[in-house]
């Protein structure tokens, strides 16, 4: 809002003592600050405890969103309770309508659906409240129906043209509790508070100018670096070279170098190409030294990879040889499992590829006889159990059975009438017969068992004989299966061995490089351990030979460029094969040097043009920087002047207001202020009753009584209100009467009615006489003030 604005109406619902009203149409309460369509000041009156301070706090909360949490004791428990929302199950909001001089209305709302008890120990912005800024007057139903965009403190400050709404509160609200009074703060906090007024006036105005000065300085620094770089490249003028372009052709046909081409583009890095080409020439010129150095590195690398020798040797065998060996190992493993007499022997499918026909037939017969034996054994056991159970059931009841079946056997039908023994006696003798029968059956089964066990022992001896004939090794089997994991290491070993053989031509090594020769000589994988020893012996002998030669010839101390070696070590073997290309390489170097001179000549002319353009731009930036420095110097001078003027503007009303409010004290009339001895900066803010040697005097905070301190704080805040401009022209004092006696109060009323005639004042007092006096005196001066008795107006809305 660009014009002066004031509070028009205040809406409070379920906030602190104000309940969520259910007896009226609307659940909220309205306080109207307008009288005859004009915004008026207001004095809140009535006894303590009816919500005067809560009205101030509702305005404070709407503007800042500050949430206070508290703790109270309930029995033996400490409870965390929400200190703003009255009924946590209901919605809570505070809404303020602001009205400006052109009669534009906006509404600021802090709203929460419901509250949650907090556990916070510090003051912070309420997270459970949403903030809305609505064009127009407040409408509760519209608030519930519309989904307004949420706003922040920054948005609120921007509406009123403030940098920070908390700073506005600090200047325009004197709370009933005086702990936060500016006069009671430490000197540093006073300085910080007052410095913001000076900075706020200048920062926004010159913010863009400061940034432009910083950016210009950065541009100058970047341009200076670019100009220095161009100067280095233009250090020596190179004229266009004359004469015919030298012949150019690729030197190495079988080796790829980035610098070795048939055709070049003029922008290529010929200087680097020349260096690389000279490196190759050095290798050819010192072929013997570089060959021996490469031999040493190769054999050392090979020995460092000794752990992979076994995989390299196994990889040299033909797939057929390896597969054959793997098959023998798997056969051996199968035969060993057969001897364990588990499911593999008796149940699993026979792996016929590992057994002779005789062994296969024998195993099938053994399984058949064994299964027959087991089945007979099971049948005999079943029959035995059935008969035994029947015998137990009739034992002791033989006579009854005989009588029931009339002395005739129910099983075989034999009639025992007229027989020597009766059916009852025959049943009693059956136990002996049963035991004899069991022995006969057991003897028969045992004979069957001996037959198949004898066959199994013969089969087992045959398997053991075959196992003894197998020469496979489980470790070799594992290594063969693992070699694929080390294919990269195997390939590196192969490459290094081939390169070493090309450089040295070691006949003993060739058989381990050529797979055809290797498989012609080593056909059986069983020989692998011996082959591995032979390979290691060959590598060790080469290593000893090279090391001995290096020691004897002191090759490592030869004039060898190790950077050249490291750059080309993987290509040295191929380079040394091209020793006849040395002359062509010299021609290539001559051609590259010619192209480099041609490139430099062209770059000089281009750089000269760029240099001239950058110099022009550099001068323009320097001129711009000087102008900005002059403007910013003027700003700083103005800031110093503004600082001095501000303190002068503050000192006069502070002296007058403090003198009027305090009336008399032991050292004079009013209070003076001291801002430090630095004319360019506010370094301290001291208040004293004696201007002479004020920097050596005690601050009033250490000298005055508590009542005098409170009055001095009111005078200071009124003085700040007088000199600081703001669009939100509202000033609030909660119960100033507690610090003022009747004489002080008369002076206070004189100040507010004369000095702040257009400012909207919101005051409070619990004394109706003082409230009536303030209303009367302001009314006589033409300042409209509403007297609002909180007890009478809000009693039914409080709990």
Torsion over CA of 316, 322, 326 and 329, rounded to 10 degrees?
A: -70
Closest alpha carbon to 56 in 761, 769, 715:
761
Matching residue, tokens 């509702």: 58
User: Residue 318, exposed/middle/buried by CB under 10 A (0-12, 13-18, 19+)?
Assistant: middle
| CA dist 259 → 255, 336, 593 (Å) | 11, 65, 12
The pLDDT, as a whole number, for residue 664 is: 58
pLDDT above 70 for 73: no
361 or 341, higher pLDDT? 361
- Give the helix ranges, DSSP H, for 663-767: 706-723, 742-755
pLDDT in tens, 658-685: 888 876 554 557 788 776 666 656 666 7
pLDDT above 70 for 81: no
The pLDDT, as a whole number, for residue 103 is: 79
Q: Six-digit token pair at 662?
A: 């305090």
pLDDT in tens, 300-334: 999 999 999 999 999 999 999 899 888 889 888 98
The pLDDT, as a whole number, for residue 799 is: 46
The pLDDT, as a whole number, for residue 666 is: 45
Lowest mean pLDDT among 23-32, 162-171, 390-399, 474-483: 390-399
The pLDDT, as a whole number, for residue 80 is: 55
Report the 3 state secondary structure along 768-796: HHHHHHHHHHHHHCCCCEEEEEHHHHHHH
pLDDT in tens, 361-394: 888 888 888 888 778 777 766 666 666 666 666 7
778 or 191, higher pLDDT? 778
Q: Are 422 and 402 in contact (CB under 8 A)?
A: yes
For β-strands 29-32 and 5-13, DSSP reports them as antiparallel
Using DSSP's 3-state secondary structure scheme, residue 131 falls into strand
CA atoms of 786 and 778, how far apart (whole Å):
10
The contacts of residue 544 (CB under 8 Å, 6+ apart) are none
The contacts of residue 69 (CB under 8 Å, 6+ apart) are 80, 81, 82, 83, 118, 119, 120, 121
* Claim: this prediction has a pTM higher than 0.75: no
CA atoms of 100 and 123, how far apart (whole Å):
31
The pLDDT, as a whole number, for residue 93 is: 94
CA atoms of 699 and 222, how far apart (whole Å):
52
398 or 306, higher pLDDT? 306
Matching residue, tokens 């409870």: 79
The pLDDT, as a whole number, for residue 421 is: 77
| CA dist 324 → 196, 327, 353, 530 (Å) | 92, 5, 13, 19
Q: Are 761 and 41 in contact (CB under 8 A)?
A: yes
C-alpha angle with apex 694: 692 to 699, nearest 5 degrees?
A: 135
Q: What would the DSSP string read from start to end of 500-545?
A: HHHHH--HHHHTTT-HHHHHHH---GGGHHHHHHHHHHHHHHHHHH
C-alpha angle with apex 46: 41 to 48, nearest 5 degrees?
A: 120
pLDDT in tens, 193-240: 766 655 555 555 566 777 888 888 898 888 888 888 777 766 655 555
The pLDDT, as a whole number, for residue 798 is: 45
């Amino acid at each position: 809002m660009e014009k002066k604005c004031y509070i028009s109406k205040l809406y409070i619902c379920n906030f602190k003592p104000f309940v969520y009203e259910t007896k009226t149409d609307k659940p909220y309460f309205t306080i109207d600050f307008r009288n005859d369509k004009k915004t008026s000041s207001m004095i809140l009156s009535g006894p303590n405890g009816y919500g005067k301070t809560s009205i101030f706090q509702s305005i404070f909360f709407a503007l800042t969103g500050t949430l206070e949490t508290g703790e109270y004791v309930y029995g033996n428990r400490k409870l965390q309770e929400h200190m703003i929302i009255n009924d946590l199950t209901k919605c809570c909001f505070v809404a303020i309508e602001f009205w400006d001089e052109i009669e534009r209305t906006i509404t600021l709302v802090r709203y929460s659906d419901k509250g949650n008890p907090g556990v916070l120990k510090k003051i912070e912005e309420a997270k459970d409240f949403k903030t809305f800024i609505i064009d127009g007057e407040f409408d509760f139903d519209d608030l519930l129906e519309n989904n307004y965009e949420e706003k922040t403190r920054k948005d609120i400050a921007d509406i009123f043209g403030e940098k920070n709404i908390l700073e506005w509160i600090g200047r325009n609200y004197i709370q009933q509790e005086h702990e936060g009074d500016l006069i009671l703060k430490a000197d540093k906090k006073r300085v910080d508070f007052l410095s913001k007024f000076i900075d706020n006036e200048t920062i926004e105005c010159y913010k863009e100018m400061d940034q432009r000065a910083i950016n210009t300085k950065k541009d100058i620094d970047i341009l200076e670096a670019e100009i220095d770089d161009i100067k280095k490249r233009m250090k020596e003028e190179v004229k266009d070279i004359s004469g015919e372009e030298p012949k150019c052709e690729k030197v190495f046909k079988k080796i790829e170098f980035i610098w070795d081409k048939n055709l070049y583009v003029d922008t290529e890095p010929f200087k680097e190409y020349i260096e690389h080409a000279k490196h190759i020439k050095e290798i050819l010129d010192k072929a013997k030294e570089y060959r021996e150095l490469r031999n040493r590195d190769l054999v050392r690398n090979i020995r460092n990879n000794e752990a992979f020798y076994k995989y390299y040797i196994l990889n040299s065998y033909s797939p057929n040889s390896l597969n054959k060996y793997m098959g023998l190992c798997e056969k051996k493993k199968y035969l060993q499992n057969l001897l364990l007499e588990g499911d593999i022997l008796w149940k699993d499918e026979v792996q016929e590829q590992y057994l002779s026909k005789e062994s296969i037939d024998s195993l099938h017969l053994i399984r058949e006889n064994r299964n027959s034996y087991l089945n007979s054994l099971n049948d005999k056991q079943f029959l035995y159990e059935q008969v035994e159970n029947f015998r137990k059931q009739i034992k002791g009841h033989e006579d009854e059975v005989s009588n029931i079946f009339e002395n005739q056997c129910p099983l075989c039908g034999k009639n025992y009438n007229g027989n020597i023994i009766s059916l009852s006696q025959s049943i009693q003798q059956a136990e002996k017969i049963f035991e004899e029968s069991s022995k006969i059956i057991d003897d028969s089964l045992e004979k069957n068992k001996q037959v198949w066990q004898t066959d199994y022992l013969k089969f087992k001896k045959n398997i053991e004989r075959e196992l003894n004939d197998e020469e496979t090794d489980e470790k070799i089997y594992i290594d063969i299966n693992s070699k694929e994991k080390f294919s990269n290491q195997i390939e590196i070993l192969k490459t290094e061995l081939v390169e070493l053989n090309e450089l040295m031509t070691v006949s003993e090594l060739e058989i381990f490089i050529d797979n055809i020769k290797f498989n012609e000589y080593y056909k059986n994988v069983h020989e692998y351990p011996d082959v591995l020893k032979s390979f290691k012996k060959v590598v060790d002998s080469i290593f000893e030979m090279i090391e001995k030669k290096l020691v004897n010839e002191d090759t490592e101390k030869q004039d060898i460029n190790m950077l050249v070696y490291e750059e080309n070590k993987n290509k040295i073997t191929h380079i040394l094969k091209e020793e006849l290309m040395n002359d062509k390489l010299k021609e290539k170097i001559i051609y590259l040097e010619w192209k480099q001179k041609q490139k430099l000549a062209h770059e000089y002319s281009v750089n000269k043009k760029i240099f001239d353009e950058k110099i022009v731009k550099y001068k323009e930036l320097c001129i711009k920087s000087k102008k900005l420095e002059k403007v910013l110097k003027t700003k700083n001078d103005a800031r110093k002047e503004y600082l001095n003027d501000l303190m002068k503007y503050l000192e006069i009303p502070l002296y007058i207001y403090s003198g009027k409010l305090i009336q008399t004290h032991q050292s004079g009339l009013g209070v003076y202020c001291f801002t430090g001895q630095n004319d360019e900066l506010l370094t301290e803010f001291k208040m004293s009753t004696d201007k002479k040697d004020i920097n050596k005097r005690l601050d009033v905070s250490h000298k005055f009584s508590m009542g005098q301190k409170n009055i001095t704080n009111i005078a200071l805040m009124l003085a700040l209100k007088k000199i600081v401009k703001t669009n939100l022209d509202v000033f609030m004092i909660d119960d100033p009467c507690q610090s003022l006696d009747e004489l002080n109060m008369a002076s206070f009323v004189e100040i507010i009615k004369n000095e702040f005639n257009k400012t909207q004042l919101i005051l409070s007092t619990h004394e109706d006489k003082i409230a009536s006096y303030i209303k009367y005196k302001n009314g006589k001066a033409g300042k409209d003030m509403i007297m609002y008795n909180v007890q009478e107006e809000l009693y039914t809305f409080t709990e």
